[in-house]
């Protein structure tokens, strides 16, 4: 989870989030190179005292500043498309979790082995204990196995919600009348926190998500 004054991305807890972090670093490197180049050109332009009054056009430089941005965009587009297809790839899931967004709590259903349904509400501030996090902990956590393919089916009962766990790289919109899904794998045990990421009403800030990842080996 995020810590105080954290300006970077959260540590990845899934292969999907690792790919997103790699893409972020790849894109950031390209942006830094562009910023340095543009800054250098602007600096040199301000202090350049030479003027060519007979220069009306320059086809060579126009070709360069047309082709170069195209090549740079391709270096960004291809890795982005690769991750986009990875997001939509559905492997054989070991377990399926159904998630329903309400104003302002989450409902969950396990139906692979036994039909288990429960609601998950935020723990009020006056009921927190020392180990709890304010506005993040819930009364019923979602229990999921690590190192297993997990499929999440997300919908909503009233307005649009968004089921989001940043450390897993998962963000799925819950839309009334529509069923969205995503496939991912958790590669470390622990507690992972998230919140609804779609403004859904007055108490939008008070419907957190907590996943407890456990090992299947006892």
Q: How much is the pLDDT for 176?
A: 92
Check if the beta carbon of residue 196 is closer than 8 Å to that of residue 204: yes
Provide the residue ranges of all domains of the chain, joining segments of one domain with +: 15-88, 95-214
Confidence of residue 8 (pLDDT cuts 50, 70, 90): confident
Name the nearest CA neighbour of 184 among 167, 201, 199, 197.
167
Confidence of residue 111 (pLDDT cuts 50, 70, 90): confident
Please give the average per-residue pLDDT across 36-49, as a whole number. 88
Confidence of residue 12 (pLDDT cuts 50, 70, 90): confident
**pLDDT score of 18 more than 70:** yes
Q: How much is the pLDDT for 35?
A: 96
Structure tokens at 10: 């959260």
Confidence of residue 131 (pLDDT cuts 50, 70, 90): confident
Q: How far apart are CA 92 and CA 172, in angstroms?
A: 19
Q: How far apart are CA 1 and CA 11, in angstroms?
A: 8
CATH of segment(s) 15-88 = 1.10.287.90
Structure tokens at 36: 């340095």
Confidence of residue 58 (pLDDT cuts 50, 70, 90): confident
Architecture of domain 95-214: Sandwich (2.60)
118: enclosing H helix or E strand: strand 116-120
Which pLDDT tens digit goes with each residue over 181-206? Answer: 988 889 889 899 999 998 988 889 89
| Contact partners, residue 55, CB within 8 Å, separation at least 6 | none
User: pTM of the entire structure?
Assistant: 0.81
Burial zone of 198 (CB within 10 Å; 0-12 exposed, 13-18 middle, 19+ buried): middle
Name the nearest CA neighbour of 138 among 155, 158, 118.
118
**pLDDT score of 215 more than 90:** no
């Amino acid at each position: 989870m995020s810590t105080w004054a954290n300006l970077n991305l959260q540590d990845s807890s899934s292969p999907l989030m690792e790919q997103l972090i790699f893409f972020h670093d790849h894109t950031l490197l390209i942006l830094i190179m562009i910023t340095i180049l543009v800054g250098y050109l602007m600096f040199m332009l301000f202090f350049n005292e030479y003027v060519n009054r007979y220069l009306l056009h320059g086809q060579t430089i126009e070709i360069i500043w047309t082709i170069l941005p195209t090549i740079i965009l391709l270096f960004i587009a291809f890795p982005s498309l690769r991750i986009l297809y990875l997001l939509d790839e559905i492997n054989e899931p070991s377990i399926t979790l159904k998630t329903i967004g309400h104003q302002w709590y989450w409902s969950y259903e396990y139906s692979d082995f036994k039909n288990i349904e429960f609601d998950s509400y935020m723990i009020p501030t006056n009921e927190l204990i020392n180990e709890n996090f304010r506005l993040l902990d819930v009364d019923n956590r979602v229990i999921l196995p690590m190192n297993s393919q997990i499929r999440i089916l997300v919908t909503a009962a009233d307005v649009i919600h968004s089921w989001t766990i940043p450390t897993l790289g998962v963000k799925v919109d819950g839309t009334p009348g529509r069923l969205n899904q995503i496939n991912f794998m958790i590669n470390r045990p622990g507690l992972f926190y998230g919140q609804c990421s779609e403004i859904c009403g007055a108490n939008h800030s008070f419907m957190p998500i907590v996943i407890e990842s456990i090992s299947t080996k006892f």
